[in-house]
Amino acid sequence: MSANIVGIGTRKVTLLGNPVLRKVLRKLKPDEIRSEEIRRLVQEMAVTMDEYDGVGVAGNQVGEDLSVFVMGLPKGTKRHPDGIELTVVFNPVIKPIGDEFEEDWEGCLSVPDLRGKVRRHSKLELTGHGLDGKPFKRTYEGFPARVVQHETDHLNGLVYLDRMDGLKTLSYMSEIGRRG
Ligand code: NI
């Protein structure tokens, strides 16, 4: 899909320790969202996500101080058989729905090889702006809701390690024997 777009390259993913991962990222105005530069950036983010086998990529993970994330997962994978539709959200804001939480493994392209258990809201409403610069609003539940929370955290300078209840579940992926 996105990987076939001519001239769109993979970005190098920033790693924990890079200050950009600790920044609260700059929000974009609708006019800026519709610009050619931003269109190209989100294409590169989608290609990078594919290349690194990720489920989501945030602006600061490709070194940009911009409040945007891309998420997506093909159907039929072990991680989440239903898949996640390729989605781009600018200036995302989360509103939890209900008071249910789920704990599950998370990993991050900026923290390679590790996984840790994180408690997240089970259901939420996500608002922001879409690729066309218009308001975006959708509800998510379960695994996609987890991804939305993980990516939105990035845009506020947080990584999943900050959300763990202690580090006792922090594990090398190779030891857990699963790819989640
Ligand atoms: Ni991440």
| Residue 176, pLDDT score | 87
Report pLDDT digits (tens) over 164-175.
999 999 999 999
CA of 119 to the centre of ligand 1 (A): 15
Nearest CA-CA partner of 147 in 99, 106, 93, 117: 106
| Marked catalytic residue, from 44, 64, 106, 151 | 151
Q: Measured in angstroms, how far is the CA atom of residue 147 from the centroid of ligand 1? A: 9
For residue 106, the CA-to-ligand 1 centroid distance in Å is 9
- What tens digit of pLDDT does each residue of 103-156 get? 999 999 999 999 999 999 999 999 999 999 999 999 999 999 999 999 999 999
Mean pLDDT of the chain: 94
pTM for this entry: 0.93
Buried b (16+ CB within 10 A) or exposed e, 29-48: eeeebeeeebeebbbbbbbb
Per-domain boundaries in the chain: 19-179
Contacts of 42 (CB under 8 A, 6+ apart): 68, 70, 88, 131
CATH 3.90.45.10 applies to domain 19-179: yes
Rounded distance from Cα 50 to ligand 1 centre (Å): 14
Which residues have beta carbons under 5 A from ligand 1 (an ion)? 108
Expressed in angstroms and rounded, the spacing between residue 152 Cα and the centre of ligand 1 is 9
Q: 78 CA to middle of ligand 1, Å?
A: 19
Active site residue 64: no
